[in-house]
Amino acid sequence: VFSGSIQGATIVDALDSLYIMDMHDEFKAATDWVEKSLDFNVNAEISVFEVNIRFVGGLLSAYYLSGEEVFRKKAVELGEKLLPAFNTPTGIPWALLNIKSGIGRNWPWASGGSSILAEFGTLHLEFMHLSQLSGNPVFAEKVMNIRKVLNRLDKPQGLYPNYLNPNSGQWGQHHVSVGGLGDSFYEYLLKAWLMSDKTDEEGKKMYYDSIQAIESHLIRKSRGGFTYIAEWKGGLLEHKMGHLTCFAGGMFALGADGAPDEKTGHQMELAAEIARTCHESYSRTTLKLGPEAFRFDGGVEAIATRQNEKYFILRPEVIETYMYMWRFTHDPKYRQWGWEAVQALEQYCKVNGGYSGIRDVYASHPSHDDVQQSFFLAETLKYLYLLFSEDDHLPFEHWVFNTEAHPLPVIRKEDVKKPEV
Ligand code: DMJ
C-alpha cells in the first residue's frame, strides 16, 4: 500500500515492466495516464524514500527505455518537489515531506527523532541521474553531502546504525540491520560505484568496508548449516532474518567481482548460502511462500515462530537473489526455485483482478489480505521474467537496478554532465 496521496503508484511502478515484457498497448495506456493525470501538485505528506524509489525510479527507467520526454520531465519535476526534505541542519533529509508546504519531519516512532539509514541512503542512484538529465548539480550535491556526514562519524565496530539524527548529526539507537531500516543503504553504495562506470571509489570503499563488518558481526551459521544474517542491537544479536534481508544474496553476488581478489570466491559462496537459506524459508512453509521473518533460535531454523511474522506480501527479495545467482552461475537450481515460487503464487495468491498477499504461509489454506503491493509488478514479476530471459536482456554491464527493480543505465565516464559555467 502506498500511503500518501500522489496517485498512480501501481501504474508508474509498472511502466518499465510493461515495456520490458513487450506489452505495448498497456505501456501506451500507462504513458497516456502519466501525461494526462500524474499530478504532483497535491497537498500530501509523502515518504521521501518511497516516492523516490517507486515514482522517480519508475519514471527514470521509463524514460531511459522508451526515450519519451514526458517521463524525463515528470522525473525532474518530482525530484525538485523532494528537495525541501534536505533543509535540515546537517542536510540529512527528513523521512516525511509535505510536498505542497515543503515542511518535513521524521517518523514519530524513529529513535530520538532520527532519520532512517535505508531511507536517506537510498536516494543516491536516482539523484545522480536527475542531475545528469537536468544539468542541475543540486541533486548530486544533496546525496554527496549525505556521504560526507556519514564519513565524518565514528561507526560502532565499523557498522552503520539504522538511526541518524538530522539535527545533531549523531547516531540514534545502535541497531544495525541488513533487512528493514538498513538494507538498501548497502545496496546503493555498491550500485553507486557500478553505475558510475566504477569511478566512485568512495562508494566502493564504503560498500566493501561495511560488508566486512557485517560479516564479522552479523553473519552466522545455524546448527543445521544454514548461513543467515542476524540483527544487531547494541552488541547483542537477534537471530532473526527478514524476508527483506534476502536481497543480500543478490547483492553479494553482484559485488563479488569487485572485491579484493582473495575475497571474490568467498563472497560468491556467501551469496549462494544466503540464497539457499532463503529458499529453505520458503520450502519449510505449507504454502511454499516465505514468511516476513524467520528465526534461528529456540530450536528452530528458517521458520517464523511469531504469528505477526508469518505473512507474505508478494515481496521480491528471494526471487531477486535467484535472478542474480542465475546470471552469475547458470546453476539450473535457481530457475527451478524460481519456478516453485511461480507455481505457489499462481496457486495461492492469484485472485480475481490480480494477486493478493497471504496472512499466514503455514496455514493449510491461504487467507488473502486483499492487497497487491505495487512492487509486485515492479520487482517480483520483473525479476521472475529476467530469471527466465537471456542474459543480454538488460545486461548488468549497462544497467543497474534501483532498489525497486527499475533499471538505470551506467553513466559512462565520458558522458558525465559537467555543470555549465
Ligand atoms: C520495495 O519497495 C523495495 O525493494 C525496498 O527496497 C524494500 N521493500 C520493498 C519490497 O519488499
Taking a C-beta distance cutoff of 8 angstroms, is the pair 239, 297 a contact?
yes
Return the percentage of the chain with pLDDT > 70, whole number: 98
Q: What is the rounded CA–CA span in Å between residue 77 and residue 80?
A: 5
CA distances from 155 to 62, 162, 164, 297, 357 (A): 38, 11, 12, 28, 38
Q: Whose CA is nearest to atom 3 of ligand 1?
A: 404
In this predicted model, what pLDDT tens digit does every residue of 71-105 receive, in sequence order?
A: 999 999 999 999 999 999 999 999 999 999 999 99
Q: What is the pLDDT of residue 19?
A: 98
Cα-to-centroid distance, 52 and ligand 1 (Å): 12
In this structure, is the dihedral angle defined by the CA atoms of residues 202, 258, 329 and 195, taken in order, positive or negative?
positive
In this predicted model, what pLDDT tens digit does every residue of 16-52 receive, in sequence order?
A: 999 999 999 999 999 999 999 999 999 999 999 999 9
Ligand 1 near 403 CB (within 6 A): yes
Q: What is the rounded CA–CA span in Å between residue 186 and residue 107?
A: 21
Ligand 1 near 357 CB (within 6 A): no
Amino acid at 305: T
**Structure confidence at residue 417 as a pLDDT band (50, 70, 90):** confident
Q: What's the pTM?
A: 0.98
Task: State whether residue 221 is helix, strand or coil.
Answer: strand
Grid coordinates given for 408: 538505470
**Structure confidence at residue 5 as a pLDDT band (50, 70, 90):** confident
In this predicted model, what pLDDT tens digit does every residue of 272-289 receive, in sequence order?
A: 999 999 999 999 999 999
CA angle 256, 246, 335 (to 5 degrees): 80
321 is in an annotated binding site: no
Q: What is the rounded CA–CA span in Å between residue 303 and residue 291?
A: 8
Q: What is the average pLDDT across 223-239?
A: 97
Q: Whose CA is nearest to atom 8 of ligand 1?
A: 244
Is the confidence at residue 404, as pLDDT, over 80? yes
Which among 186, 187, 182 is positioned nearest to 171, based on CA atoms? 182
**Structure confidence at residue 4 as a pLDDT band (50, 70, 90):** low
CA angle 206, 245, 327 (to 5 degrees): 80
Q: What is the rounded CA–CA span in Å between residue 23 and residue 315?
A: 23
